[in-house]
Amino acid sequence: MHAKLIVTMSWLMAVASVWAARVEARPTIEPTVPAGVKIVEPNMPDASVYADVSGLLEEIRAKHGVPALTAMVVRDCAAGPMSTVGVLGRGVAGKRAEGQPPDATMQDKWHVGSCTKAMTAVLCALLVEEGKLRWDSTIGEVFEDRLEEVPEHYRGVTLEQLLRHTSGLPANLPGGKGWMNMLRSEEPPERDRVLAFGVVMKQGPKGKPGERFEYSNVGYMIAGHMAETVMGKPYEDLMRERVFVPLGMFSAGFGPPGEKGKFDQPRGHYRDSPAEVDADNPKCYAPAGTVHVSMLDWARFASVFLSSTHSLRPRALSDESIKRLIRPTPKSEGGGNGYAMGWVVTERSWAGMGMGENGPALTHSGSNTLWFCTAWIAPKADVAVLVACNTAGDAATAAVDEACRRLIELTPALTRLTGYESRDHQPKGK
């Protein structure tokens, strides 16, 4: 089964193109509360009216036969652990594990796979602003003391090329015994990345740096390894200190959530059966895609890219850095498919400012073949839609795709029904 955990990135990019084609949602005007939606008025401090979309998600979940489905629709997101400020809609439906009694909850944590990549890119941007790295820092420079391991064709690969998938590196570590050893490793992930780096350097390039797009998990792994090398601290600790804690993402961690022998968190699924709690890609892949997080905390991260929430960004992350992170790679630099740094960038009518004007929409998927999720963010329209599922494959893709589309269509109605436009929705003290 472990061999099936290797993420097929060509498949994921194909799915991304399907999202880009399908999720061309047109806003609908709903004079009343839509079916499957319930308006909730929380009786607690630092809370606002929001729409419970669990009924809608249950309809979609049952239609596609997936264990559980959860979603968030936000316009901005405050930092309080129970805050609903800026939340237009949220909901969850289904079971943590097929055949087990516990229902999934809004406090549960979900494996977001390759949606980790945008988080790694933010960490790298913070280190660039601090002068610890440069966008043009190269593999040869950062790993100067290991230069004998780095062949000539990889020495000039830059940090930015790694984050844009234009480094020429292969998609993954080679399969076989080495892959299985990484899966079973009990070493700290930073030590495994040292070993994995050496393995990658022995693999031949897929192209010249800066000349073509080649989706690469190991490219992001090496970007994270560059960060931990210059800082002298594991990537995982840097993410907690520089990204998770400043954003109030206290649920965030690495690997599948939950404890062995319990169903205290959702489980990924292999076909129709719950997977082992620790079933995942190797721990060294953390910068490429092993984060787990609650939906509210994932929304806090998504809010970094919304124009109304600059004050919620990690300290020192500038507007210029945000613009660079979401600038699609030009054809002259090996791009042309809309990929930026951890995001696919497209345009949608619902993402504009109205009056038929298109606006930029950021999207990405995450999957380790046991979980599946999708994020859509419209910076100009100040709205983000996040959907996650605890299985993968065609049914999960269809369920998540439909949930994204229908929630995007409902966003104007949810905005009116929750009174968002008339709120003082910036968090207190900001």
Instruction: Report the pLDDT averaged over residues 327-333.
Output: 95
The total of other beta-carbon atoms located within 10 Å of residue 63's CB is 12
The pLDDT of residue 46 is: 63
Q: Which of these ranges, 73-77, 243-247, 321-325, has the smallest mean pLDDT? A: 73-77
The pTM assigned to this predicted structure is 0.90
Considering Cα of 78, then 84, then 87, then 88, what sign does the dihedral take? negative
pLDDT > 90? residue 13: no
The total of other beta-carbon atoms located within 10 Å of residue 42's CB is 14
pLDDT > 70? residue 79: no
The total of other beta-carbon atoms located within 10 Å of residue 327's CB is 14
Task: Specify the residue for token string 């047109």.
Answer: 26
Instruction: Report the pLDDT averaged over residues 21-50.
Output: 69
Tens-digit pLDDT profile for residues 195-223: 999 999 999 999 999 999 999 999 999 99
Measured between alpha carbons, how far is 242 from 240 in angstroms, rounded to an integer?
6
The total of other beta-carbon atoms located within 10 Å of residue 13's CB is 17
Q: Cβ contacts of residue 287 below 8 Å, gap of 6+?
A: 116, 117, 120, 220, 221, 223, 224, 225, 227, 235
Tens-digit pLDDT profile for residues 339-360: 999 999 999 999 987 667 899 9
Measured between alpha carbons, how far is 7 from 10 in angstroms, rounded to an integer?
9
Taking the CA atoms of residue 166, residue 167, residue 173 and residue 174 in that order, the dihedral angle to the nearest 10 degrees is 90
Measured between alpha carbons, how far is 165 from 288 in angstroms, rounded to an integer?
11
Structure tokens, 393: 């494959």
pLDDT > 70? residue 407: yes
Tens-digit pLDDT profile for residues 114-142: 999 999 999 999 999 999 999 999 999 99
Structure tokens, 214: 């080649």
**Does the domain spanning 2-422 belong to CATH 3.40.710.10?**
yes
Categorize the per-residue pLDDT at 421 as very low, low, confident or very high, splitting at 50, 70 and 90.
Answer: low
**Structural domain spans, the chain:** 2-422
The pLDDT of residue 176 is: 80
Q: Which of these ranges, 22-26, 62-66, 184-188, 333-337, has the smallest mean pLDDT? A: 22-26
Tens-digit pLDDT profile for residues 395-404: 999 999 999 9
3-state secondary structure of 146: helix
Measured between alpha carbons, how far is 108 from 257 in angstroms, rounded to an integer?
9
Q: Mean pLDDT of all residues in the chain?
A: 88
The pLDDT of residue 314 is: 62
The total of other beta-carbon atoms located within 10 Å of residue 196's CB is 23
Instruction: Report the pLDDT averaged over residues 378-385.
Output: 93
Instruction: Report the pLDDT averaged over residues 51-56.
Output: 97
